[in-house]
């Protein structure tokens, strides 16, 4: 479909409160990148609150290759996801959660490969968790493991 024929779907109002939810659109450019400084994360948090944003996803993949230095494909272009991203994305999540102080929900994503990882995201301040790379490597079994781990907390 060419850009001229594409029509963005009309957002649907929440069935309970009739508000149209406004959240950070999940494109690579508007999501929280794990390559932000603490000052930038704080500024983003203030901006999210000031603009009445309903939710934020932290984080996208990283361009940092420090955790995979020396690996055969370490220098390939693109965002790095999965296990090597976990610490870094969770650090961003922790700072963001402190700054937001419960003002808006945070979806924690980045390197969740086990139920324990999901627990750690919640402990760092996430309201919800999202998986991408973990689902590819572990399959739907990971969903059940995470649900159990979060229920057991
Ligand atoms: C192949 C691939 C494609 C992705 N495409 C998108 C995308 O279109 N939009 C987006 O916001 N994030 C995209 N992401 C980022 C993921 O949603 C997620 O934030 C990131 O991979 C970190 O989570 P993970 O470690 O569980 O994969 C993509 C990630 C991968 C690996």
pLDDT digits (tens, 9 = 90+) for 71-120: 999 999 888 999 999 999 999 999 999 999 999 899 999 999 999 999 99
Q: Is 32 in the pocket of ligand 1 (CB under 6 A)?
A: no
Q: Average the pLDDT over each of 56-60, 117-121, 134-138 and give the range with the smallest value.
A: 56-60
**Residues in a beta bridge with 130:** 109
Could you tell me the pLDDT band of residue 34, with boundaries at 50, 70 and 90? low
H/E run at residue 33 = none
Q: Is 81 in the pocket of ligand 1 (CB under 6 A)?
A: yes
| CA 17–ligand 1 middle distance (angstroms) | 30
The answer to whether the bond into 93 is cis (omega within 30° of 0) is no
Confidence (pLDDT) at 9: 57
Q: At CA 58, angle to CA 57 and CA 60, rounded to 5? A: 95
Confidence (pLDDT) at 103: 92
Confidence (pLDDT) at 86: 95
| CA 132–ligand 1 middle distance (angstroms) | 6
What is the position in ligand 1's atom list of the atom closest to the CA of 111? 25
Q: What domains, with CATH codes, occur in the chain?
A: 38-63+78-151 (3.20.20.70)
Per residue in 141-151, pLDDT tens?
A: 999 999 999 99
pTM equals: 0.84
Residue of the nearest CA to atom 18 in ligand 1? 60
Of 21 and 66, the one with more pLDDT: 66
| CA 25–ligand 1 middle distance (angstroms) | 13
Q: Average the pLDDT over each of 10-19, 21-30, 129-138 and give the range with the smallest value.
A: 21-30
Distance set, CA 150 to CA 2, 122, 138, 146 (Å): 43, 9, 18, 6
- pLDDT > 70 in the chain, percent: 78
Q: Is 109 in the pocket of ligand 1 (CB under 6 A)?
A: yes
Confidence (pLDDT) at 15: 67
């Amino acid at each position: 479909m060419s850009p001229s024929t594409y029509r963005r779907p009309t957002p649907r109002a929440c069935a309970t409160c009739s508000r149209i939810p406004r959240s950070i659109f999940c494109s690579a450019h508007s999501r929280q990148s794990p390559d932000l400084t603490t000052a930038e994360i704080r500024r983003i948090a203030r901006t999210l609150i000031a603009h009445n944003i309903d939710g934020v996803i932290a984080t996208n993949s990283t361009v940092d290759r420090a955790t995979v230095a020396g690996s055969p494909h370490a220098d390939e272009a693109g965002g790095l996801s999965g296990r090597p991203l976990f610490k870094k994305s969770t650090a961003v999540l922790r700072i963001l959660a402190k700054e937001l102080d419960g003002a808006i929900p945070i979806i924690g994503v980045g390197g969740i490969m086990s139920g324990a990882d999901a627990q750690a995201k919640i402990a760092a301040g996430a309201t919800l968790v999202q998986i991408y790379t973990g689902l590819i490597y572990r399959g739907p079994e990971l969903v059940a493991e995470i649900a159990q781990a979060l229920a057991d907390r």
